[in-house]
Amino acid sequence: VMIVGCDPKADSTRLILHSKAQNSVMELAAEAGSVEDLELEDVMSVGFGDVKCVESGGPEPGVGCAGRGVITAINFLEEEGAYDEE
C-alpha cells in the first residue's frame, strides 16, 4: 500500500509516519536541482503497517497549479519502479 499526499503542507502522511510532515518531492527536487537528481529513497518513507508514504508537494495555495506537483511525483514514482500496476 502506498499513500501519495498532495497537500501543499505535505502533512497527509504525518500520522502514519508518527512524525512531522516529511519533505515533498517538489521541495527535494528544488534543493537537488531537478527531479532527475532524486532517488526513490530520498522521497519515500515507510510508516505504520509498512505503508509507503510520499508527499508530492506543490505551490502555496493560490499560487500556481497544485496538479503539477502531483503529476511530477507520480511520474517520478513510476519511473523509479515504486509500484506495480496490477
| Secondary structure (DSSP) of the chain | -EEEE--TT--TTHHHHTSSPPPPHHHHHHHHSSGGG--HHHH-EE-GGG-EEEE---SPTTSS-HHHHHHHHHHHHHHTT-----
Q: What is the reported pTM?
A: 0.84
Percentage, residues of the chain above pLDDT 90: 64
DSSP for 50-64, please give it.
Answer: G-EEEE---SPTTSS
Q: By residue range, what is the domain housing residue 12?
A: 2-79
Domain membership flag for residue 86: no
Q: How confident is the model over 15-39, as pLDDT tens digits?
A: 999 988 899 999 999 999 999 999 9
pLDDT of residue 64: 65
Which amino acid belongs to residue 54?
A: V
Cell of 31: 534543493
Total domains in the chain come to 1
Scan for cell 512531522, then name that residue.
20
More confident residue, 15 or 85: 15
Domain membership flag for residue 85: no
Question: Which range, of 6-10, 14-18, 78-82, averages the lowest pLDDT?
Answer: 6-10
Domain membership flag for residue 33: yes
Q: How confident is the model at residue 13 (pLDDT cuts 50, 70, 90)?
A: very high
Domain membership flag for residue 60: yes
